Structure 1
Amino acid sequence: MDHAALARAHAFLDTHARLLERRLARLWSQPDPVAAVAVVDALAGYRNADGGLGHALEPDVRAPHSQPLAVDFALGVLGQVLDSPAGGDAVVRRTVTGFAESLVPYLESVTSPEGGLPIVLPDIADHARAEHWGDGRFPVGLNPTAGIVAGLRKAGVSADWLDPADGFCRARIEDLPDVVDAHTALNVLHYLASTPDREWAGRHGLSVADLTLFHLHPGEGYGLTPLDFAPSPTDPLRALFPADAITAHLDALVSAQGDDGGWSVPWQPPGPAAALEWRGVVTANAVRLLTTNRVSYTRNARVLRSGTPS
């Protein structure tokens, strides 16, 4: 990402995005532990009395009530803080761990007897939401349970809640069908990467070739991409995808920057506030992807376009 494009992206965030995404995007160019802790402080603004998070932290669900979806979103933010240049700071790590631990009582309150979580709760139906959330009645599943387990582990959390949740995830992964959607696969692969039982994890990999809602190479319509699974060049999941697919998606990401400096989403959010918030989320994510992949992307692009190694 060249300096002019990066400046335009930050200008868009300054004028359109939430404080959370403005803070988060700066971490990739300013590895300041104080700024990293401020990202966690921004998450605290979405807290409820039950210990969970709501208030449209995930912009497509406008309900103020706490939701597993919002916890999953927050753990993704905390993971980005840890992955940032400031993530190795001891104060930052303690702050991330403390915030993540504080979410566990809420998770305990909404966990099924078998140890799983639904992605949202039916009370979202009392508020505006994107069409794909329907009436808010979803069964417990690997999405989000496996991803939340993985996110808590990454944050350094050790809690009793993890034991039944871990058992739920292992049982569901044992019975996975041959074809799954990309969101479930994303949760499963992060869970498998996080589990300490490496022998068991090695027996339960997923093929990305048959995923639904997935674009191995850039395509039309909504779908997750290899960059959603492995945003960093050092991510172990990067090995699942061919280098030309990564480069093609980075090319597409560069090309998708709008005239106003931001990126858009390929679905219809539930109102103008949600649309702007999502644009902030995806623009901050684009800054992260194009910053962290800059060296390897430049090298791989040169190899793929010339046909010879550099």
Structure 2
Amino acid sequence: MTDLTAAEQFVLANARLIDRHRLAVLLHGAPADQVVDALVAYRTSDGGFGHALEPDVRCPGSQTSAVLHALDVLAAVDALDHPLVGEIGDWLTTITNPDGGVPTVLPSADGFPRAPWMVPAPDSGFLTYAIAGKLWQAGSTHPWLPKATEWCWTALEQADGVGGYTVKFALDFLDAVPDPARAAAAIERFRPALDGTGSLAVEGGTENEKITPITLSPHPGTPSRALFTADQLDADLDRLAAGQHDDGGWDVDYLHWSPGQALDWRGIATVQALTTLQANKHL
């Protein structure tokens, strides 16, 4: 059984201010404005987000992954109607490639601590899926979105044998894009990549690192749930609940490459675990 008191004590003792505010919204109905105020502190002078908001790129400059994390934070506290979403769209237009996609890691990461897989490169990458999905979820009409959506559909149609986080972010897009028949067909193409538990191995990750069903499809009633049986989802929710450590927190299974990064992710993972368990009536 989940120990909420221990989880809250872990977050208060170890997590970032933004994650402490997120937990207060989740457990105590605190105002979402406090989360937004904490989020604004991570903004950069060019209108993006940086300052290790996404813990694996620890540079002060704007990063695509930090912008996605900002959108995830707004979504978690039902604040995707905030003007920040439109301003994020404006920033995205400054980094978007001619094909409509955005790079995964920008040159501002050079010279700063970062995860070994976070290598600056100009090509459009899989974060485009997740960011476009969040803007669709927000009901955005920003002019950045149609071309990005076109990139997503093209990349999905060309995808062959993809796995890992490409599938995760693609499902985020497909759960939100307002084209249900086309989305359902695309979702079904990922079924062969799943193992018997509904999980995906992460190539090049830590030993036995997997993305499990409740991470691939965290929200009840979304189209991606078609990939999983009720038994697979229930088993994964049980696993998630059982993953609480003796100190009250949860952890991630990918590489801990610095003490600060590891602790930041533990705070995020703890809040996210409680959020997911609550959303799935498993808390």
Partner of 1:186: 168
Partner of 1:168: 151
Q: Deviations over 1:232-273 (max 9, x none)?
A: 333342232112222222222222211111112223333211
Task: Identify the structure with the greater helix proportion.
Answer: 1
**What residue identity is the alignment partner of 2:254?**
W
1:50 to 46, 49, 61: 46
Q: Report if the CA contact (8 A) 1:40-1:99 is conserved.
A: no
Partner of 1:76: 72
1:139 aligns with 2:123: yes
Partner of 2:241: 254
Residue aligned with 1:29, SS: helix
Distance 1:164 1:207, change over 3 A: closer
The 2-side partners of 1:274 and 1:184 are apart by 22
Partner of 1:121: 106
Partner of 2:204: none
**What residue identity is the alignment partner of 1:231?**
P
Residue aligned with 2:188, SS: coil
**What residue identity is the alignment partner of 1:171?**
T
The 2-side partners of 1:229 and 1:144 are apart by 15
Q: Report if the CA contact (8 A) 2:194-2:200 is conserved.
A: no
Q: CA deviation at 1:212?
A: 7.4
**What residue identity is the alignment partner of 1:121?**
L
**What residue identity is the alignment partner of 1:155?**
A
Q: Report if the CA contact (8 A) 2:252-2:265 is conserved.
A: yes
Partner of 1:15: 13
Partner of 1:230: 217
Q: Report if the CA contact (8 A) 2:193-2:200 is conserved.
A: no
Q: Report the number of matched residues.
A: 278
Q: Report if the CA contact (8 A) 2:174-2:223 is conserved.
A: no
**What residue identity is the alignment partner of 2:258?**
G
Partner of 2:178: 196
| Structure 2 stretches lacking a partner, 5+ long | 202-206
2:27 to 10, 14, 29: 29
Sequence identity (%): 36
**What residue identity is the alignment partner of 1:124?**
A
Partner of 1:242: 229
Partner of 2:91: 106
Of residues 179-188 and 98-107 in structure 1, the stretch that sits farther from structure 2 once superposed is: 179-188
Partner of 2:133: 150
Distance 1:171 1:239, change over 3 A: closer
Q: CA deviation at 1:182?
A: 2.9
The 1-side partners of 2:216 and 2:141 are apart by 24
Q: CA deviation at 1:75?
A: 1.3
**What residue identity is the alignment partner of 1:280?**
G
Residue aligned with 1:63, SS: coil
The 2-side partners of 1:251 and 1:197 are apart by 32
Rg (Cα) greater in structure: 1
Distance 1:265 1:194, change over 3 A: closer
Q: CA deviation at 1:215?
A: 6.3
Residue aligned with 1:126, SS: coil
The 2-side partners of 1:115 and 1:217 are apart by 30
Partner of 1:304: none
TM-score (norm 2): 0.89
Q: Report if the CA contact (8 A) 1:24-1:39 is conserved.
A: yes
Distance 1:167 1:292, change over 3 A: closer
Q: CA deviation at 1:213?
A: 10
Distance 1:26 1:280, change over 3 A: same
Question: Moved runs in structure 1, 4+ residues, more than 4 A?
Answer: 212-215, 217-220
2:34 to 19, 33, 38: 38
Q: CA deviation at 1:63?
A: 1.1
Distance 1:171 1:93, change over 3 A: closer
Q: Deviations over 1:94-139 (max 9, x none)?
A: 43xx111111121111100111111111331311111222x32262
Q: Report if the CA contact (8 A) 2:65-2:104 is conserved.
A: yes
Partner of 1:305: none
1:286 aligns with 2:282: no
Residue aligned with 2:141, SS: coil
Distance 1:168 1:217, change over 3 A: closer
Q: CA deviation at 1:64?
A: 1.1
Q: CA deviation at 1:208?
A: 4.1
**What residue identity is the alignment partner of 1:16?**
N
